[in-house]
Amino acid sequence: MIYLILSIAASLLIVVIFKLLQKFEVNTFQTIVVNYMVAFGFGIAANQSSMGINEVLEAKWFYGSVLVGAMFIGLFTLMAWTTQKNGLSVVSVASKMSVIIPILFGILLYQESVGYQKIIGIILALVSVYLVSVKSKTSVNFKKNLLLPVLLFFGSGISDTYINYLQNTAISEANIPLFSACVFGFAGIIGIIILAVKKFRNEVQLDPKSILGGLILGLANYASLYYIIKSLQMPNMESSTFFTLNNVAIVMASTLIGLWIFKEYLTRKNWIGIGMALIAIYLVTFA
């Protein structure tokens, strides 16, 4: 359970950092690119495997790490586009509701346990995510520019599902740091290429503040992926249970952090969602 708590804490730190980036007007994309390279460094430093370059290239998870890295940078870009076209509420709902994909994947492919209590908990979790995500004076308009939120929904869900698949089939406990390093390394390389093209076209100015933000974000990002994989490898931790608890806890806790630290306003609908989230966590945990 400690790995689950640490994965939630790392993800919450990422949310707080993004809030601070916005507050201090730090270039978010440049911070993301720096963060990936920093996370790559943490992965290399934490690696205790004696695998050589040829062994890494031949590892079962290597090409998977390339794909996950591309997914990470692609999903970030997609989230930015969706925010501009549809608004923050749509981004939050589309990305968080995508948890249903890895949940169904775990139940159908790995024959994970499922009973009435767990089903009710999962349904309550999905409803709570929607209620907590929708802020006042906003309407979640999925019909407007429908393609973007649909792509974000499936992209986020497939990314989590594929990471779960890799940890079940290819990643040993000893190779978690090296796999994580490769994921962030490839995401960083793609990000650097994008920044280089933008700089060549004079579409962006380099922001020195993004280096500091990237250092902190890189640590949180590496810890998040590392502890997600460690959690999924825990005995008796089914992926359907993990993704439900992880997702709902992050949404609920980040909402409360927004209330207490950033003085955000919560509607009655948000509070109902938080209450439902607590019930969902209890049902799924003790199913």
Q: Which two tokens stand for residue 165?
A: 């698949």
Q: Which two tokens stand for residue 28?
A: 């978010």
Span 84-114, pLDDT tens digits? 677 666 777 788 888 899 998 998 888 888 8
The pLDDT tens digits along the chain (287 residues) read 899 999 999 988 988 888 888 788 888 889 999 999 999 999 999 998 888 889 999 999 999 999 999 999 999 888 877 776 776 667 777 888 888 999 989 988 888 888 899 999 999 999 998 888 776 555 556 566 678 888 989 999 999 999 999 999 999 988 999 999 999 999 999 999 999 998 899 888 888 999 999 999 999 999 999 999 999 999 888 999 999 999 889 888 888 888 888 887 888 888 998 999 999 999 998 86
Question: Whole-prediction pTM value?
Answer: 0.86
The burial class, CB within 10 Å (0-12 / 13-18 / 19+), for 52 is: exposed
Cβ atoms of 33 and 189 within 8 Å: the answer is no
Cβ atoms of 284 and 125 within 8 Å: the answer is yes
CA dihedral defined by 14, 17, 22, 24, rounded to 10 degrees? -170
